[in-house]
């Protein structure tokens, strides 16, 4: 599996459906009454309406209804190797019930000689009207397929709503649902970077403010004030220096505890997203290639059937050994073309199952990463507000000595001290005598 460094460990723990085990409706024609599944088993419908079962504890998947013991199917079954993956975004109802109108849409009519594209078992023929192909991906036809069960019915999860392609508002093409999720991730990374830059600007303001406070504290204005008021004034200037130190410490903590973590969170994120994009894109290209092979095989079968029909008509007109030999050859070629079509359909289904499996795993991982990113930013913004509150408290502590000295200012005492120091004499003048 690609993107090992990004989400490789999620392959061993595929996402689990969140529906509780219990009563499930039986498949049409198979059982006549409601079935009680053993604990730990879930029931889903494949794209063609066939029911299969998933053990959410062991990730075991089987077409056969499980027995009474968890993890043990009722019978081994002949098609265990062709089961859908434990969490298949399509088979476990990852696609919408009504796919949007997009380019390259085709609806297949049923034929008696070819297998339905998307059939999970070569021996099981189904009407092609049950499926619709959009951009090489097979969906259930909205007119014949009931609404599928969501993987996470109680959540607006990525794994349930991004299977189809979307029309590109900027052009005439389409954008894959997975591309929209990648754009969301990259946008989140950009927002995180811009938040870090914003905090950096805040740090610059703090540093400049601290610098100006320190400079102002050294100003000599009113330095000659005397007495208790002079002491209070000197403390005012000293408090500016103390406040400058507080703001310097605040800016340093902003850098180490907010700005830097925001900037460095997932440094290789874009590279990881690129690997992930290439991995899913390669699977989608392989799916398109398999679909093209199916179409080619289907066309070849049609031509062989037409050739066989023409030779059969010739035999009815004129009997000859040569015509009978031609019919035998045409019949063999038609049979071979049918076998080729079945093989191509099987390869297509394998490619689609692999794509769906990786889509579910990867979209759930992207969902987890987005939750992690939002929580990380929230925590660091909370740290910012905490530092801001601490700074306010420290600033308050720098002016408390000023408050104390201002309460001690005594104009009368200041006058006494000044007079004692600067007095020139206490003998008052008297009237002049003649």
Q: What is the pLDDT of residues 153-184, one digit of tens each?
A: 889 999 999 999 888 877 778 899 999 999 99
Residue 277 pLDDT:
92
Residue 4 pLDDT:
40
Average pLDDT, integer, range 78-97: 36
Q: How far apart are CA 247 and CA 93, in angstroms?
A: 56
Residue 324 pLDDT:
75
Residues 164 and 102 sit within 8 Å (Cβ to Cβ)? yes
Residue 319 pLDDT:
59
pLDDT level of residue 246 (50, 70, 90 thresholds): very high
Mean pLDDT, the chain, integer: 78
Structure tokens at 165: 């392609």
**What number of other Cβ atoms are within 10 A of residue 382's Cβ?**
11
Say whether pLDDT at 85 is over 60: no
Residue 42 pLDDT:
82
Residue 229 pLDDT:
93
* Helix locations, 268-320, DSSP H: 269-317
Whole-prediction pTM value?
Answer: 0.63
Q: Give the Å distances, CA to CA, from 119 to 29, 61, 112.
A: 18, 17, 14
Residue 236 pLDDT:
95
Q: How far apart are CA 353 and CA 371, in angstroms?
A: 27
| Ranges 29-43, 133-147, 197-211, 388-402: which has the least confidence | 29-43
| Ranges 5-14, 125-134, 210-219: which has the least confidence | 5-14
pLDDT level of residue 48 (50, 70, 90 thresholds): low
Say whether pLDDT at 89 is over 80: no
Instruction: List, in order, residues 6 or more apart from 66 with CB less than 8 Å away.
Output: 37, 38, 41, 53, 55, 72, 73, 74
| Ranges 29-38, 46-55, 237-246, 294-303: which has the least confidence | 29-38
Residue 286 pLDDT:
95
Max mean pLDDT among 78-92, 213-227, 315-329 falls in 213-227
Say whether pLDDT at 325 is over 90: no
Question: At residue 139, what are phi and psi to the nearest 5 degrees?
Answer: -115, 160
Say whether pLDDT at 371 is over 60: yes
Percentage of the chain modeled with pLDDT above 70: 74
Instruction: Give 66's DSSP letter.
Output: B
| Ranges 87-91, 115-119, 249-253, 353-357: which has the least confidence | 87-91
| Ranges 5-19, 54-68, 209-223, 337-351: which has the least confidence | 5-19
pLDDT level of residue 55 (50, 70, 90 thresholds): confident
| Ranges 103-112, 218-227, 333-342, 382-391: which has the least confidence | 103-112
| Ranges 1-10, 26-35, 210-219, 293-302: which has the least confidence | 1-10
Say whether pLDDT at 39 is over 90: no
Instruction: List, in order, residues 6 or more apart from 358 with CB less than 8 Å away.
Output: 1, 279, 280, 283
Instruction: List, in order, residues 6 or more apart from 426 with CB less than 8 Å away.
Output: none
SS3 call for 257: helix
**What number of other Cβ atoms are within 10 A of residue 397's Cβ?**
13
Average pLDDT, integer, range 34-55: 74
Instruction: Report which of 43, 55, 52 is spatially closest to residue 82, judged by C-alpha positions.
Output: 52
Q: Which residues pair with 254 in a beta bridge?
A: none
Domain at 177-411: CATH architecture: Up-down Bundle (1.20)
Q: How far apart are CA 364 and CA 181, in angstroms?
A: 11
Say which residue, 112 or 362, is predicted with more confidence: 362
Residues 106 and 100 sit within 8 Å (Cβ to Cβ)? no
Residue 330 pLDDT:
87
| Ranges 42-46, 122-126, 376-380: which has the least confidence | 122-126
């Amino acid at each position: 599996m690609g993107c090992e460094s990004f989400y490789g460990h999620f392959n061993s723990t595929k996402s689990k459906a969140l529906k509780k085990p219990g009563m499930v409706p039986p498949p049409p024609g198979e059982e006549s009454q409601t079935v009680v599944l053993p604990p730990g088993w879930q029931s889903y419908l494949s794209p063609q309406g066939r029911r299969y079962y998933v053990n959410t504890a062991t990730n075991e998947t089987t077409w056969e209804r499980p027995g009474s013991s968890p993890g043990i199917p009722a019978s081994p079954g002949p098609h265990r190797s062709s089961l859908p993956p434990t969490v298949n975004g399509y088979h476990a109802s990852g696609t919408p019930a009504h796919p949007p109108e997009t380019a390259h849409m085709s609806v297949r009519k049923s034929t008696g000689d070819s297998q339905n594209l998307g059939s999970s078992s070569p021996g099981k023929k189904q009407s092609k009207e049950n499926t619709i192909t959009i951009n090489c991906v097979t969906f259930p036809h909205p007119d014949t397929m009931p609404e599928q069960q969501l993987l996470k019915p109680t959540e607006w999860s990525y794994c349930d709503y991004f299977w189809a392609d979307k029309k590109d508002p900027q052009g005439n093409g389409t954008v894959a649902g997975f591309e929209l999720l990648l754009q969301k991730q990259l946008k989140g990374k950009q927002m995180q970077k811009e938040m870090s830059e914003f905090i950096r600007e805040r740090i610059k303001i703090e540093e400049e403010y601290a610098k100006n406070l320190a400079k102002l504290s050294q100003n000599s204005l009113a330095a000659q004030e005397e007495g208790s008021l002079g002491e209070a004034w000197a403390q005012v200037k000293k408090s500016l220096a103390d406040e400058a130190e507080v703001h310097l410490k605040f800016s340093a903590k902003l850098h180490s505890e907010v700005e830097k973590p925001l900037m460095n969170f997932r440094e290789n994120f874009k590279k990881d997203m690129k690997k992930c994009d290439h991995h899913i894109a390669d699977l989608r290209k392989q799916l398109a290639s398999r679909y093209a092979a199916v179409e080619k095989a289907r066309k070849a079968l049609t031509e062989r059937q037409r050739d066989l029909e023409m030779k059969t008509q010739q035999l009815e007109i004129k009997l000859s050994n040569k015509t009978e030999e031609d019919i035998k050859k045409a019949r063999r070629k038609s049979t071979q073309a049918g076998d080729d079509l079945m093989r191509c359909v099987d390869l297509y289904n394998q490619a689609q199952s692999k794509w769906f499996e990786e889509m579910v795993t990867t979209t759930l991982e992207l969902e987890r990463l987005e939750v992690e990113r939002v929580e990380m930013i929230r925590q660091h913004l909370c740290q910012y507000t905490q530092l801001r509150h601490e700074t306010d408290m420290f600033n308050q502590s720098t002016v408390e000595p000023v408050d104390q000295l201002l309460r001690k200012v005594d104009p009368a005492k200041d006058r006494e001290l000044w007079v004692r120091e600067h007095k020139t004499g206490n003998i008052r003048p008297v009237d002049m005598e003649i």
